[in-house]
A = this chain, B = another copy of it.
Amino acid sequence: MPRDEQLPRNEDGIAAVLGLLRQRLGDRFQTGEAVRQQHGHTTTWLPTQAPDGVAFPRSTDEVSQIVATCAEHRVPVVAFGTGTSLEGHVNAPAGGICIDFREMKRIVAVHPEDLDVVIQPGVTRTELNTHLRDMGLFFPIDPGADASLGGMAATRASGTNAVRYGTMKDNVIALEAVMADGTVIRTASRARKTSAGYDLTRLLVGSEGTLGLITELTLRLHGIPEAMSSATCSFPTVDAACEAVIATIQMGVPVARIELLDQMAVRACNAYSHLDLPETPLLLLEFHGSAAGVAEQAETFGEVAADAGGTGFAWTASPEERTRLWQARHDFYWAGLALRPGAKGLSTDVCVPISRLAECVGAAQDKAREMDLLSCIVGHVGDGNFHVMLLVDPDVAADVRKADDYTAWLAELAISMDGTCTGEHGIGQGKRKYLRKERGAAVDVMGAVKAALDPDGILNPGKILPQTPETPPRP
């Protein structure tokens, strides 16, 4: 199922770099087949395109030297965190060197008074939160997977609690990055705000390793809330659920999470996680605040939900019950897969203005039925972002084509509703074909920025930009 072509390779440059890095890094540079395959592999259905070698640097200096060497020989460089991306971000369609950040896992400094932390990019979000727990602090962004924070910044990740805490763009204070020629820059100070020049922090966040490699992050932290509670509420229709979401947010209730599961998604979770939720559209919520605040939020939501036709509203502050519910939500991917054993899951990622959400979700359900695609839907509905998980047999070409057609149809529908083809997964390889439809002439501005900062196109070629040079870096 070849979906993205190989790009031409600069064989001489690659050979030269392999020799140099082997010499310089010893065991921390590997070219074995298994390691290479593993580093082109992601939790995606896109086929693996392995790099030619994988480096495991321990410091920014080493990253800078590796990139400078690659730059000199015009060899591609692909950054790798934990390989949990969904759009082929770590594939190496022109070969080259993968830089795996797993040996850059240091928590450099925690500043509790400033509510920030400085870390190396290989630290994962659960590693960070485990480290912070005793200080009463946490980092809120939670994309589900235990991704590396460097990778989360590079793909502008978000997840279930973006409605309250924002996405990676809102929670990165500053970055250190190695640019295409090996130069090391710092995008900002640790000050909470600045008007000092262009916002390079947010230019790098979401740039998917195509403009620079993130070698250190300063992240914004939050105090662990005094109290948390979870709630569930069933709705007769997706429309009714969306109506409740809109009213809740309009009233300024600071919900931490507000997730929609459609009927089929609830069924999958019930089966997989041994729950007995009513099999109708469901909202799953979490509230953070003081004990009194959390109770007030839950009650306000309960009233709003009842007005919208919600039934069976229940909330709990019990940590066990909360964990059980949210674990089920996090296991949704596996629950979905279990609906059709042997199938692979393809997840769409559109995001629309919340006023269009019910219409978009409804159309997505109808279309899947019409195309006879088995699917279920979960959504970060506070943001207008939802995922249709299509269960597809990767060995049946017609099935794959149908899923592809469906994804394209849904991307175009979301774009026509003033939305985006990707709320949080990124463009990578998989969504390049939609970018121009979505952003028009702005894509040329992106291209100009890319050309200015990476003139030889060595940083993660074949990602984001439809017009990224399809020819290899010239030797």
Which chain A residues have a beta carbon within 8 Å of chain B's beta carbons?
111-116, 136, 155-158, 162, 166-167, 169-170, 179, 183-200, 202-203, 205-207, 211, 222-223, 225-226, 246, 249-252, 254, 289-290, 292-293, 296, 349, 351-355, 382-385, 414-415, 418-427, 431, 434-435, 438-446, 448-453, 464-465
Contacts and interface: CB of A to CB of B under 8 A. Distances in A.
A448 to B, nearest CB: 5
A426 B445 CA distance: 24
Given A170-B170, A197-B427, A197-B446, A420 B114 contact: no
Contact of A193 (B188, B385, B446): B385
B420 A194 contact: yes
A166 B385 CA distance: 22
Contact of A226 (B200, B252, B292, B419): B252
Contacts of A252: 222-223, 225-226, 289
A169 B431 contact: no
A398 B451 CA distance: 48
A199 B191 contact: no
B353 A191 contact: yes
A182 to B, nearest CB: 11
Contact of A113 (B206, B355, B426, B443): B355
Copies of this chain present = 2
B353 A419 contact: no
Nearest to A198: B446
Contact of A445 (B185, B189, B434, B444): B185
A420 B188 contact: yes
Contact of A415 (B167, B189, B222): B189
Contacts of A442: 185-187, 197, 200
Nearest to A222: B252
Contacts of A425: 195
A332 B321 CA distance: 52
B453 A383 contact: no
Given A196-B431, A202-B202, A206-B199, A423 B185 contact: no
